Amino acid sequence: MAVPRLSVVIPMYNEEAVLPLLVSRLRPVLDGLGQTYEVVAVDDGSRDATAAIVTLIRAKWPELRLVRLRRNSGHQAALTAGLHRSHGDYVVTIDADLQDPPETITEMLHLAQSQELDIVYGVRGDRASDTLFKRGTANLYYRLMRRIVGNRMPLGAGDFRLLSRAMVDALRELPEQAPVYRLLVPWLGFPSGQVVYTREKRAAGSSKYPLGKMVNLTVDSIISFTAAPLRLGIWLGVFGALACVVAAAKVLVAYFQGTVVPGWTSLSLVVLFLGACQLICLGLLGEYVGRIYQGVQARPAYFVGEDSLAEAESRARTRQRRPLEEPDEESDPLPHLGNLTVRSLD
Residue from the set 99, 164, 221, 308 that interacts with ligand UDP by CB under 6 A: 99
- Minimum CB separation of residue 99 from Mg ion in Å reads 4
- Minimum CB separation of residue 96 from ligand UDP in Å reads 4
Nearest partner of 196 among 233, 158, 168, judged by Cα:
158
Which residues of the chain form contacts with Mg ion (CB under 5 A)? Answer: 95, 97, 99
- Residue (9 or 112) nearer to ligand UDP, CB: 9
The string of DSSP letters for 298-332 reads T--S--EEEEHHHHHHHHHHHHHH-TTSPP-GGG-
Q: Give the x/- contact pattern for ligand UDP in 188-207, rule: CB under 6 A.
A: -------------------x
- Residue (36 or 72) nearer to ligand UDP, CB: 72
Look at residue 68 and give the partner it binds from ligand UDP, Mg ion, none, a contact being a CB closer than 5 to 8 Å depending on partner kind: none
- Residue (68 or 75) nearer to ligand UDP, CB: 75
Task: Choose the binding region for ligand UDP from 1-9, 91-99, 112-120, 148-156 (rule: CB under 6 A).
Answer: 91-99
- The answer to whether residue 85 forms part of the interface with ligand UDP (CB under 6 A) is no
- Minimum CB separation of residue 98 from Mg ion in Å reads 8
- Minimum CB separation of residue 236 from ligand UDP in Å reads 33
Q: Quote the Cα angle for 82-211-134, to 5°.
A: 90
d(CA 305, CA 42): 11
The string of DSSP letters for 174-201 reads S--SS--HHHHHHHTT--EEEEEEEPPP
CB-CB contact of 289 with 297 (8 Å): no
- The answer to whether residue 16 forms part of the interface with ligand UDP (CB under 6 A) is no
Stretch 167-186 residues interacting with ligand UDP (CB under 6 A): none
Q: Edge-to-edge strands of the sheet including 157-164? A: 192-198, 119-126, 157-164, 90-93, 6-12, 37-43, 64-69, 304-307
- Residue (207 or 318) nearer to ligand UDP, CB: 207
Nearest partner of 39 among 16, 5, 77, judged by Cα:
5
CB-CB contact of 190 with 181 (8 Å): no
- Minimum CB separation of residue 158 from Mg ion in Å reads 9
- The answer to whether residue 131 forms part of the interface with ligand UDP (CB under 6 A) is no
Look at residue 82 and give the partner it binds from ligand UDP, Mg ion, none, a contact being a CB closer than 5 to 8 Å depending on partner kind: none
SS3 track for 248-265: HHHHHHHHHHCCCCCCHH
Look at residue 236 and give the partner it binds from ligand UDP, Mg ion, none, a contact being a CB closer than 5 to 8 Å depending on partner kind: none
- Residue (207 or 314) nearer to ligand UDP, CB: 207
d(CA 258, CA 208): 65
Q: Where does residue 154 rank: exposed (0-12), middle (13-18), buried (19+ CB within 10 A)?
A: buried
Kindly state the number of chain residues that form the binding site for ligand UDP, as judged by CB under 6 A: 16
- Residue (19 or 167) nearer to Mg ion, CB: 19
CB-CB contact of 89 with 168 (8 Å): no
In the DSSP assignment, the letter for residue 297 is H
d(CA 94, CA 204): 16
Residue from the set 5, 17, 36, 72 that interacts with ligand UDP by CB under 6 A: 72
- The answer to whether residue 30 forms part of the interface with ligand UDP (CB under 6 A) is no
- The answer to whether residue 153 forms part of the interface with ligand UDP (CB under 6 A) is no
What residues make contact with ligand UDP under the rule CB under 6 A?
11-13, 15, 44, 72, 74-75, 78, 95-97, 99, 207-209
